[in-house]
Amino acid sequence: MSTQSAETLREEVRRRYAEAAEAATEGKGCGCGGGSCCDGESGDAFYTIEQREALPDAATLASLGCGNPTAVADLHEGDVVLDLGSGGGIDVILSAKRVAPGGIAYGLDMTDEMLALAQRNALEAGVTNVHFLKGVIEQIPLPAESVDVVISNCVINLSVDKPAVLAEIARVLRPGGRIGVSDVVAEDHLTPEQRAERGSYVGCIAGALSRGEYAAGLEAVGFADVSVEFTHAVADGMHGAIVKAHKA
């Protein structure tokens, strides 16, 4: 992918999620045509009633994911958790509650509007063990081996440099650290061109990795026990999936 096209795609993603943040702030849902920005179910459908009731309305309105990584990430009191592409903060807030007392939840996002919304949501939720960082997931602004768990919800497929994202996840995780990621993943037989026929890049379809590509990419940067489990269909041959692994 050329630098120009990569920057164009990144700006399209940033603009779409800025619009979603503004819509959620105004109480209008994610602003992406009635469902998740990732062309699937409404993002809050993946959370329990108890989880939704414990969150500000704007956090659930801005839930644009394709799963619930906090349901599969093995979170414990005292853990340091990082959410890549934290959006309106729903998974950061839920993680912060799980790792308290003593733990910290970081949220990383490149969109000013989402970061502002997440800060307001965390304040309203009454969680204080959260830190929101501005940046891109290809260059995580945290030191090496500083995180116990990395989560993400339908964001890695939007990256313009997925090998860099996976390498950065490995860098910031401590030895034995783990990932619990919800993402859109293609069946192995679909070519990149066929994935693009099924949906747009900003709709989380065209840029999705295949199951084999995801596993190989994680193993290449030092992850073990990699699993990519399909959970629900989002297009022909495309699925919401849970990706788990630990740093060897």
Question: When comparing pLDDT for 20 and 233, which is higher?
Answer: 233
Per-residue pLDDT of 56-115, as tens digits, reads 565 555 555 676 788 878 899 999 999 999 988 989 999 999 999 999 999 999 999 999
Instruction: Return the pLDDT at 5.
Output: 82
H-helix or E-strand spanning residue 242: strand 238-247
In Å, how far are 95, 150, 169, 224 from 227, measured between CA atoms?
Answer: 22, 15, 16, 9
pLDDT at 179 over 70: yes
Mean pLDDT of 187-202: 92
The residue among 180, 208, 170, 192 whose CA lies nearest residue 39 is 208
Per-residue pLDDT of 8-19, as tens digits, reads 877 887 788 777
| Structural domain for 134, as ranges | 3-247
Residue 39 CA to chain centroid, in angstroms?
15
Instruction: Return the pLDDT at 64.
Output: 59
The CA R_g of the chain, rounded to the nearest whole Å, is 16
56 close to 64: Cβ distance less than 8 angstroms: no
pLDDT at 45 over 80: no
Instruction: Return the pLDDT at 200.
Output: 83
Supply the pTM of this predicted model. Answer: 0.86
Instruction: Return the pLDDT at 20.
Output: 74
H-helix or E-strand spanning residue 134: strand 130-134
Mean pLDDT of 35-49: 52
Per-residue pLDDT of 154-171, as tens digits, reads 999 999 899 999 999 999
Return the exposure string of 9-37: e unless at least 16 CB atoms fall within 10 Å of the residue's CB, then b. Answer: bbeebbebbbbbbbbbbeeebbbbeeebb
pLDDT band per the 50, 70, 90 thresholds, residue 225: very high
179 close to 149: Cβ distance less than 8 angstroms: yes
Instruction: Return the pLDDT at 39.
Output: 45
Number of domains in the chain: 1
Question: When comparing pLDDT for 103 and 20, which is higher?
Answer: 103
Which CATH number is 61's domain given? 3.40.50.150
pLDDT at 30 over 50: no
Instruction: Return the pLDDT at 33.
Output: 39
**φ and ψ of 20, to 5 deg:** -65, -40
Instruction: Return the pLDDT at 153.
Output: 92
